[in-house]
């Protein structure tokens, strides 16, 4: 068990501006970080009351980590891959875990001659964050585009300028700027404005991240993103067979979007809220629409992906959403921390995940969806013998979806996947990821206003958002399935442009 009296206090009192600690339990009175070189959470300590600027100015305070490489897409034809995953839950879950593993690939942070492991996803560019790295790239891009436009000798394309901007400043990531309390306690957009009046049910807190190729594409397509209309009719044919969006070109296959959700886990006996996700819970979610109340569960910082902020607080990663553009419809994966990680959605977790960060990833469960429709006729089938609780939970979601088919053409069985910590609003538990994400930057025709994500699962909207939003309704996807277009990037691009006095 971790306790504040072990290891951390002496370091806090030490004169060093900033140190990094690895591993949850230090020997009593340890004066220096352990010599371990792999595994364990990244801990960032700084002496209390220190000016963060001074911290950054010192070489020790600059927790620089090389910006991780791009995600390498699965080496399969995207259409064949899509069909395979849509038709087989076993293939889908196997692929989901494999993608998680790829995103955990350790990147090395070196400080004072010691090396620490940071998962690949954590080195990428932060979007909605106190460390707004995507916004900085957008500003840089607009400035260089404006300069090019003003220079008669500049003939660079937007894609070329975007590529150059990605190679400029910010190729290293400074974790001192990211691991600050303000960032880890920021309420996620999906949780803004919601309060069920239940203090146990704290709102999702955290930040979004995007892979380098995602960010580069946002820059190159900035005009299309900013000027994308939310009034494109749902049944308007897409621009071409290879392009879903009337606003932007589709992302490259290496593009990845990530959303993280953290809870503070300080104190002598830290606890986080957690949900049952067994068959009974899934049946209740599908029927009632809402995740049952969570319980507060003890958590050991060595059993959850943990970071320590510059002001000395510990935060544990409760959930992470990962979406990769491996297929045109993206692959939608979510992990949640569980006190019983080897049951239901954790039963098929590959043992290889224990290799990373001292084994913390063995405490997470996973669900994945890759399509609107469930075309596996018996998605629980391959788990019946060896992983019966997983089979039962999947069957519960399937049975629920079978009952909730709308009249034709929305009469297909749809997929289900929901993170109990993030899709936790009333009614939101029976959705799937892709179903809701299709409605980013669209118009609610019944209410004659932009669609809110919360419209998508309201039963009264059934005709406009069939199957509680799970079914494919749209012929086009203006925002390419990214809610961040309207919630993050449009405003950032507009502001950067106006600041530069630049017009398209
Ligand atoms: C009912 C709607 C809804 C559902 C269901 C939903 N999301 Fe989201 N998602 C959102 C909203 C709103 C955001 C907020 C965008 C922001 O803050 O930038 C978001 C953000 C994200 C992001 C960050 C990138 C972006 O801008 O889109 C990822 C990745 C993501 N969701 C994945 C998932 C996964 C995986 C699931 C299924 C387990 C899921 N979502 C279910 C509405 C939804």
pLDDT tier at 194, thresholds 50, 70, 90: low
pLDDT tier at 16, thresholds 50, 70, 90: very low
pLDDT tier at 326, thresholds 50, 70, 90: very high
- Atom index in ligand 1 nearest the CA of residue 456 equals 1
User: Distance from CA of residue 16 to its chain's centroid?
Assistant: 34
Omega cis (within 30) before 409? yes
Q: Show the tokens assigned to 35.
A: 């010599």
- Atom index in ligand 1 nearest the CA of residue 485 equals 26
Q: Show the tokens assigned to 425.
A: 């609003």
Which comes out higher in pLDDT, residue 16 or 429?
Answer: 429
Total Cβ atoms within 10 A of residue 383: 22
Distance (Å, whole) CA 301 – CA 322: 23
Torsion of the alpha carbons at 237, 240, 244 and 246, rounded to the nearest 10: -70
- The ranges assigned to domains in the chain are 62-500
Cβ of 244 below 6 Å from ligand 1: no
pLDDT digits (tens, 9 = 90+) for 485-497: 999 999 999 999 9
Cβ of 485 below 6 Å from ligand 1: no
Three-state SS letters, 230-294: CCCCCCCCCCECCECCCCCCCCCCCCEEEEEEEEECCCCCCEEEECCCCHHHHHHHHHHCCCCCC
Lowest-confidence range among 124-128, 169-173, 181-185? 169-173
Which comes out higher in pLDDT, residue 92 or 427?
Answer: 92
- Nearest Cα neighbor of 200 from 109, 275, 295 is 295
Cβ of 404 below 6 Å from ligand 1: no
For ligand 1, the distance from its centroid to the CA atom of residue 323, given in whole angstroms, is 9
Cβ of 423 below 6 Å from ligand 1: yes
Model confidence at 330: pLDDT above 60: yes
Q: Give me the percent of the chain exceeding a pLDDT of 70.
A: 85
Q: Show the tokens assigned to 488.
A: 């993050």
Nearest CA to ligand 1 atom 24: 257
For ligand 1, the distance from its centroid to the CA atom of residue 470, given in whole angstroms, is 14
pLDDT digits (tens, 9 = 90+) for 339-362: 999 999 999 999 999 999 999 999
DSSP category for residue 3: -
Q: Show the tokens assigned to 467.
A: 């199957």
Buried b vs exposed e over 226-241: b needs ≥16 C-beta within 10 Å?
bebebebeeeeebeee
DSSP sequence for 115-178: EEEEEGGGGSEESSSSS-HHHHHHHHHHHHHHHHHH-TT----HHHHHHHHHHSS-SEEEHHHH
Query: How much is the average pLDDT of 305-311?
Result: 86
pLDDT digits (tens, 9 = 90+) for 40-84: 445 554 333 333 333 344 444 567 888 889 999 999 999 999 999
The residue written with tokens 């591993």 in the block is 23
- Nearest Cα neighbor of 410 from 481, 496, 474, 321 is 474
pLDDT digits (tens, 9 = 90+) for 367-422: 999 999 999 999 999 999 999 999 999 999 999 999 999 999 999 999 999 999 98
Model confidence at 5: pLDDT above 70: no
The reported pLDDT for the residue numbered 417 is 97
Model confidence at 131: pLDDT above 70: yes
How far is CA 356 from each of CA 318, 324, 389, rounded to the nearest angstrom?
Answer: 17, 20, 26
Model confidence at 163: pLDDT above 80: yes
The reported pLDDT for the residue numbered 192 is 61
Nearest CA to ligand 1 atom 20: 483
Model confidence at 22: pLDDT above 80: no
DSSP sequence for 49-63: T--HHHHHHSTTT--
The residue written with tokens 């060093």 in the block is 16
The reported pLDDT for the residue numbered 251 is 98
Cβ of 419 below 6 Å from ligand 1: yes
pLDDT digits (tens, 9 = 90+) for 217-258: 999 999 999 999 999 999 999 999 999 999 999 999 999 999
Model confidence at 472: pLDDT above 70: yes
Provide the whole-model pTM. Answer: 0.90
Angle between helix 78-87 and helix 89-103 axes, rounded to 10 deg: 120
Distance (Å, whole) CA 48 – CA 358: 28
């Amino acid at each position: 068990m971790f306790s504040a009296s072990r290891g951390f206090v002496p370091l806090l009192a030490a004169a060093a501006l900033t140190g990094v600690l690895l591993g949850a339990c230090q020997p009593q009175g340890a004066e220096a970080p352990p010599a371990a070189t792999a595994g364990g959470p990244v801990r960032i300590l700084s002496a209390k009351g220190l000016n963060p600027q001074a911290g950054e100015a010192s070489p020790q305070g600059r927790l620089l980590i090389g910006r991780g490489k791009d995600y390498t897409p699965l080496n399969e034809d995207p259409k064949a891959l899509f069909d395979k995953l849509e038709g087989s839950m076993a293939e889908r879950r196997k692929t989901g875990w494999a993608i998680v593993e790829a995103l955990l690939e350790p990147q090395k942070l070196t400080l004072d001659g010691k090396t620490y492991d940071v998962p690949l996803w954590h080195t990428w560019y932060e979007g909605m964050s106190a460390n707004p790295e995507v916004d900085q790239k957008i500003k840089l891009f607009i400035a260089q585009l404006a300069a090019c436009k003003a220079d008669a000798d500049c003939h660079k394309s937007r894609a070329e300028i975007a590529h150059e901007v990605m190679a400029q400043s910010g190729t290293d990531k400074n974790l001192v700027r990211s691991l600050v309390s303000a960032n880890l306690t920021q309420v996620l957009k999906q949780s803004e404005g919601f309060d069920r009046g239940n203090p146990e049910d704290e709102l999702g807190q955290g930040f979004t991240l995007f892979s380098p190729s995602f960010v580069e594409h946002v820059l190159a397509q900035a005009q299309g993103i900013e000027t994308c209309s939310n009034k494109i009719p749902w049944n308007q044919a897409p621009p071409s067979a290879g392009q879903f969006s009337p606003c932007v070109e589709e992302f490259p296959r290496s593009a990845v979007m990530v959303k993280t959700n953290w809870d503070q886990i300080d104190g002598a006996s830290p606890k986080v809220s957690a949900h049952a996700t067994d068959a009974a819970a899934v049946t209740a979610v599908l029927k009632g629409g809402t995740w049952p109340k969570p319980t507060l569960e003890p958590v050991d910082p060595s059993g959850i992906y943990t970071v320590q902020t510059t002001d000395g607080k510990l935060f544990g990663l409760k959930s992470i959403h990962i979406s990769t553009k491996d297929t045109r419809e993206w692959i939608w994966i979510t992990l949640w921390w569980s006190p019983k990680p080897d049951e239901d959605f954790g039963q098929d977790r590959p043992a290889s995940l224990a290799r990373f960060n001292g084994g913390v990833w063995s405490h997470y469960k996973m669900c994945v969806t890759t399509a609107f429709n469930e075309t596996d006729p018996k998605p629980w089938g391959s788990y019946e013998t060896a992983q019966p609780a997983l089979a039962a939970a999947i069957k519960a979601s399937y049975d629920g979806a079978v009952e909730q088919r709308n009249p034709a053409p929305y009469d297909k069985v749809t997929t289900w996947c929901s993170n109990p910590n993030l899709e936790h609003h009333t009614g939101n538990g029976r959705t799937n990821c892709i179903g809701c994400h299709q409605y980013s930057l669209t118009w609610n025709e019944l209410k004659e206003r932009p669609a809110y994500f919360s419209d998508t699962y309201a039963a009264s909207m059934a005709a406009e958002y069939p199957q509680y939003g799970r079914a494919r309704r749209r012929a086009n996807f203006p925002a390419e399935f990214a809610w961040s277009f309207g919630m993050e990037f449009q405003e950032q691009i507009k502001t950067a442009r106006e600041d530069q006095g630049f017009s398209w």
